[in-house]
Structure 1
Amino acid sequence: MPSHARHKGQVEFVGRITAILAELRAAGVNAPDQLADVLNVRAVPPPNGKRWTALQVLRIDSLHLGRKSARFPPNLDYAATGVGRDARRPVLEEHAELLRNLACQPGITLARIQASLADHGVEVSALSTISRTLKRLGISTKYVR
């Protein structure tokens, strides 16, 4: 067990939760937010005594893998599961043509682009995600306010 899991209680807790997470992953539940939801439904007590969050699941994975940082262990593909800064990248890049058409409309706002994406079944919660995707795809933001 990792050296930074200092207390015996913490080591036991991480081991117990890791076993539950492995069971859930074997059943096809892989995204940290989904794992957190299942832990909450099962009434598994989290470390803070409140509710499980995706970040807490990531921290448990990090402790289990022996990493000091709780940020996205390298051998777990969280970008594909919907967590992390670039998690929306594949989804938005699939709609590059729609983004190009929207961004060239004079006076368009990021909020209107977000609403149009939602109309097409693509939910994006942060406007900065849209802005970064436009820049990454090389789409001009000349008309975007």
Structure 2
Amino acid sequence: MTELLEAAQALRPVDTGLYQEISHFYARHFQTVDSGDVAGWAGGFTTDGVFDSNVLPAPVVGRDTIEAATHRSEAARRTTGVQRRHVQTTLVAEHAGEEIRTRAYVTVLETLPASPTTIYCATLCEDVLVRGADGGLLIRSRMILRDDLR
């Protein structure tokens, strides 16, 4: 318990400028996947990035593997005509050494042609962000916890 408390106390909120940069990163990131640009979305991960979820049997490791798995998922979804929108709220961003740890709620909306929009799922998204070689933000690891599967 003491280690968890010390780890939590070691985190400190990012400043306003960095918070805004992170917010813009996520806006582009989620709009990219919602538009069907899977390669662009996967490009937001480090080459050794990890994508994990309580939906998956095991973590997906590596940008190329994340991209391939997402292509398969998106191809299946597109055959149904469903449009998805990721809506991120309540973003918390904190320094953890050289990394930035973020937590946010992400609600995924679904709309079928000529149908009302519904909530597909509500999630907690926890990321570890790092700076890439070009100075931009990249996701080193992501954990998605769907509320309906907890």
Q: TM-score range by the shorter chain?
A: under 0.3
**Bigger strand share:** 2
User: Taking structure 2 as the reference length, what is the TM-score of the superposition?
Assistant: 0.25
Larger Rg: 1
Larger RCO (CA within 8 A; separation ≥ 6)? 2
**Bigger helix share:** 1
User: Taking structure 1 as the reference length, what is the TM-score of the superposition?
Assistant: 0.26
